[in-house]
Amino acid sequence: MLEYLPKADLPRALRGLRLRLKSDGTLVVFISRQTSFMVPLIQKWWQANLYGKRGLRAAFAEASFSQVDFQAFPGASGYLNAWGHIVVAKP
């Protein structure tokens, strides 16, 4: 549901989540991908934000995550790759 925050507030929200992790913890985020296919549904109809990898990397870096990896939805869930990102981040 991070898509509903103003984009400028995303790093602050991620920082708050990071502060709740154990030092060896991992944050896994599923968030809507910036594609032309998703604009009518997510951005227009649901009035939520979409994110590209560059913007997400910047937001996680600003929130002091040192390791940020993008993963794909596996196997039968692969169709969800058209919808969103899986971001795996460590402090």
Give pLDDT tens digits for 44-64: 898 899 999 999 999 999 999
CA separation, residue 6 to residues 11, 26, 79 (Å): 10, 24, 27
Pairing of strands 67-71, 84-90: antiparallel
| Rounded Cα distance, 27 and 68, in Å | 9
Residues belonging to the chain: 91
pLDDT in tens, 14-47: 999 999 999 999 999 999 999 988 888 888 898 8
- Domain count of the chain? 1
Give the mean model confidence (pLDDT) for residues 63-70: 97
pTM of structure: 0.91
Question: 33 lies in which domain range?
Answer: 2-90
Assess contact for 42 and 91: CB atoms under 8 A. Answer: no
* CATH code, domain with 24: 3.40.50.150
Residue in the block written with tokens 């995550």: 65
Residue in the block written with tokens 């596996």: 74
